[in-house]
A and B are shown apart, each in its own frame.
Chain A
Amino acid sequence: GAVVSQHPSRVICKSGTSVKIECRSLDFQATTMFWYRQFPKKSLMLMATSNEGSKATYEQGVEKDKFLINHASLTLSTLTVTSAHPEDSSFYICSASVGPVYSEQFFGPGTRLTVL
């Protein structure tokens, strides 16, 4: 299957700082990537859809100024958590599809963010 990587896998930061998470499709080009958030013992919740060369589409209730998404190329999308606070601590996961809209999606290994 297709491979998606994320970096870093784990990050601890102080409240008020910004953190950038990278998502890369390693062996395919992804026009669209997705960012999810998962709380402990809960399911995945879609935060935003990232499209190469255009603005991201955010789900209802997700602050676009808080979670900045940039899809600069067909293999890289970044999520920046700005002015992080303890309530932003979570497991962030990206995914990418290998083809057209309803194609199979593959997920990165996730990034665990802890804000002190």
Chain B
Amino acid sequence: GIQVEQSPPDLILQEGANSTLRCNFSDSVNNLQWFHQNPWGQLINLFYIPSGTKQNGRLSATTVATERYSLLYISSSQTTDSGVYFCAVVTGGTSYGKLTFGQGTILTVHP
């Protein structure tokens, strides 16, 4: 099956810093989503981005499907950005669109 690798596994920042999270995948995809899992376990949708670039406030994402990677940018980080960030993909030909998750990046933002 498809492999999804996220880097870095852990990231510690001071409030106000910028960061880039990376997601590499081993096959072509029909769906790619970025999530933020908060301390209570809720997965919050950040981006649905199988290709191209999107921006939402301080966050933006870019997926280069032909090179099989996606990047999540967080600017002017805040303590509330802390948590686990997951990338998840759906490959072509996969029945019913099931998502395969990366291992996540644990982000800690200090005040």
Contact = CB atoms under 8 A, between A and B. Distances in A.
Contact of B96 (A1, A45, A49, A91): A49
Interface string B64-107: 00000000000000000000001010100001111111111000
Interface residues of B, number: 24
Nearest to B91: A102
A102 B30 CA distance: 6
A57 B104 CA distance: 26
B96 A105 contact: no
Contacts of B41: 38, 91, 93, 109-110, 112
A67 interface: no
Nearest to B90: A102
Interface residues of A, number: 27
B50 A102 contact: yes
Nearest to B99: A105
Interface in A78-107: 91, 93, 95, 97, 100-107
B98 A46 contact: yes
Q: Taking each of B41, B45, B50, B86, which has the highest tally of chain A beta carbons within 10 Å of its own beta carbon?
A: B41
Contact of B45 (A1, A32, A100, A112): A1
Interface string A20-58: 000000000000101000100011111001010000010
29 contacts: A1-B45, A34-B98, A34-B99, A38-B41, A43-B101, A43-B104, A44-B88, A44-B99, A45-B101, A46-B98, A46-B99, A49-B96, A57-B95, A95-B43, A97-B97, A100-B97, A101-B96, A102-B30, A104-B45, A104-B48, A105-B33, A105-B97, A105-B99, A107-B42, A107-B43, A109-B41, A109-B42, A110-B41, A110-B42
Interface of A: 1, 32, 34, 38, 42-46, 49, 51, 57, 91, 93, 95, 97, 100-107, 109-110, 112
Given A103-B31, A107-B35, A110-B41, 8 more contacts: A44-B99, A44-B101, A45-B101, A57-B95, A101-B30, A101-B90, A102-B97, A105-B31
